[in-house]
Amino acid sequence: EVQLQASGGGSVHPGESLTLSCTVSGFTFDDYGIGWFRQAPGKERERVSCISPSDGTTYYADSVKGRFTISSDNTNTVYLQMNNLKPEDTAVYYCGQDASMCLYYIDHTTPFYYGMDYWGKGTQVTVSS
Protein backbone atom coordinates (compact mmCIF):
# COMPACT_ATOMS: atom_id res chain seq x y z
CA GLU A 1 0.00 0.00 0.00
CA VAL A 2 1.40 3.35 -1.04
CA GLN A 3 1.60 5.74 1.89
CA LEU A 4 2.99 9.23 2.29
CA GLN A 5 2.91 11.11 5.56
CA ALA A 6 3.79 14.77 5.86
CA SER A 7 4.75 16.28 9.19
CA GLY A 8 6.59 19.20 10.72
CA GLY A 9 4.16 22.03 10.20
CA GLY A 10 3.55 24.72 12.75
CA SER A 11 3.07 28.39 13.45
CA VAL A 12 6.00 30.76 12.99
CA HIS A 13 6.71 34.44 12.54
CA PRO A 14 7.79 35.97 9.24
CA GLY A 15 11.46 35.35 8.58
CA GLU A 16 11.58 32.17 10.61
CA SER A 17 12.16 28.63 9.36
CA LEU A 18 10.46 25.25 9.38
CA THR A 19 11.40 21.85 8.05
CA LEU A 20 8.72 19.54 6.74
CA SER A 21 9.23 15.81 6.43
CA CYS A 22 7.53 13.33 4.13
CA THR A 23 7.92 9.68 4.99
CA VAL A 24 6.96 7.27 2.24
CA SER A 25 6.35 3.53 2.03
CA GLY A 26 4.82 0.96 -0.27
CA PHE A 27 6.87 1.74 -3.38
CA THR A 28 10.47 1.90 -4.52
CA PHE A 29 11.68 5.31 -3.47
CA ASP A 30 14.06 5.85 -6.38
CA ASP A 31 11.47 5.01 -9.03
CA TYR A 32 9.37 8.15 -8.48
CA GLY A 33 9.68 11.83 -7.95
CA ILE A 34 8.41 13.16 -4.64
CA GLY A 35 6.76 16.53 -4.71
CA TRP A 36 5.32 19.08 -2.34
CA PHE A 37 2.29 21.18 -3.10
CA ARG A 38 0.26 23.54 -0.96
CA GLN A 39 -3.30 24.72 -0.65
CA ALA A 40 -4.26 27.94 1.05
CA PRO A 41 -7.85 29.04 1.71
CA GLY A 42 -9.19 31.02 -1.18
CA LYS A 43 -6.11 30.41 -3.32
CA GLU A 44 -5.28 28.01 -6.07
CA ARG A 45 -3.24 24.99 -5.10
CA GLU A 46 0.40 25.40 -5.97
CA ARG A 47 3.16 22.94 -6.58
CA VAL A 48 6.21 24.20 -4.71
CA SER A 49 9.00 21.69 -5.10
CA CYS A 50 9.93 18.25 -6.36
CA ILE A 51 12.89 15.90 -6.13
CA SER A 52 14.04 12.89 -8.07
CA PRO A 53 15.63 10.81 -5.30
CA SER A 54 17.47 8.59 -7.76
CA ASP A 55 19.74 11.38 -8.97
CA GLY A 56 18.97 14.24 -6.58
CA THR A 57 17.58 16.57 -9.23
CA THR A 58 15.46 19.26 -7.61
CA TYR A 59 12.84 21.69 -8.85
CA TYR A 60 11.21 24.74 -7.31
CA ALA A 61 8.37 27.10 -8.00
CA ASP A 62 9.52 30.66 -8.55
CA SER A 63 7.63 31.75 -5.44
CA VAL A 64 9.90 29.68 -3.17
CA LYS A 65 13.16 29.54 -5.12
CA GLY A 66 16.06 30.62 -2.95
CA ARG A 67 14.10 30.14 0.26
CA PHE A 68 13.04 26.48 0.20
CA THR A 69 15.33 23.49 -0.17
CA ILE A 70 14.13 19.97 -0.91
CA SER A 71 16.25 16.95 -0.09
CA SER A 72 15.98 13.23 0.55
CA ASP A 73 17.87 10.60 2.44
CA ASN A 74 18.19 6.84 2.53
CA THR A 75 15.38 6.42 5.06
CA ASN A 76 12.76 7.05 2.35
CA THR A 77 12.16 10.53 3.68
CA VAL A 78 11.94 13.78 1.77
CA TYR A 79 12.48 17.09 3.53
CA LEU A 80 11.42 20.61 2.69
CA GLN A 81 13.56 23.15 4.49
CA MET A 82 11.68 26.44 4.44
CA ASN A 83 13.62 29.57 5.32
CA ASN A 84 12.62 33.20 5.46
CA LEU A 85 8.97 32.26 5.62
CA LYS A 86 6.39 34.82 4.54
CA PRO A 87 2.71 35.17 5.40
CA GLU A 88 1.88 34.12 1.84
CA ASP A 89 3.49 30.75 2.55
CA THR A 90 0.63 29.98 4.92
CA ALA A 91 -1.09 26.85 3.63
CA VAL A 92 -1.62 23.17 4.14
CA TYR A 93 1.37 21.39 2.65
CA TYR A 94 1.07 17.97 1.06
CA CYS A 95 3.64 15.56 -0.29
CA GLY A 96 2.89 13.26 -3.17
CA GLN A 97 4.35 10.52 -5.28
CA ASP A 98 5.09 11.85 -8.76
CA ALA A 99 5.19 9.15 -11.39
CA SER A 100 6.10 11.74 -14.02
CA MET A 101 9.40 12.47 -12.25
CA CYS A 102 8.57 16.14 -11.69
CA LEU A 103 7.55 16.77 -15.30
CA TYR A 104 5.28 19.62 -14.16
CA TYR A 105 8.36 21.75 -13.47
CA ILE A 106 9.90 21.00 -16.86
CA ASP A 107 6.80 21.40 -19.00
CA HIS A 108 4.43 23.96 -17.49
CA THR A 109 1.60 22.81 -19.73
CA THR A 110 1.48 19.61 -17.66
CA PRO A 111 -1.80 19.35 -15.72
CA PHE A 112 -1.44 19.99 -12.00
CA TYR A 113 -2.09 16.44 -10.78
CA TYR A 114 -0.37 14.70 -13.69
CA GLY A 115 1.59 11.76 -12.30
CA MET A 116 0.43 12.35 -8.74
CA ASP A 117 -1.89 9.48 -7.94
CA TYR A 118 -0.96 9.33 -4.28
CA TRP A 119 -0.47 11.98 -1.67
CA GLY A 120 -0.77 12.03 2.09
CA LYS A 121 -2.60 14.08 4.65
CA GLY A 122 -1.26 17.57 4.78
CA THR A 123 0.49 19.53 7.47
CA GLN A 124 -0.50 23.10 8.32
CA VAL A 125 2.05 25.90 8.06
CA THR A 126 1.01 29.27 9.42
CA VAL A 127 3.19 32.35 9.10
CA SER A 128 1.97 35.41 10.91
CA SER A 129 3.23 38.21 13.08
82-110 per-position pLDDT tens digit: 999 999 999 999 999 999 999 999 998 99
pLDDT 10s digits, 56-69: 999 999 999 999 99
CA 18 to chain centre: 13
Give Cα 119 to chain centroid, integer Å.
Answer: 10
pLDDT on residue 76: 93
Predicted local confidence at residue 108, as pLDDT: 86
What's the whole-number mean pLDDT along residues 66-81? 96
CA distance 110 to 104: 5
pLDDT of amino acid 72: 94
Closest CA to 100 of 52, 55, 60, 59: 52
Question: Which phi and psi angles does 91 have, rounded to 5°?
Answer: 180, 170
Measure the CA–CA gap between 112 and 35, rounded to whole angstroms.
Answer: 12
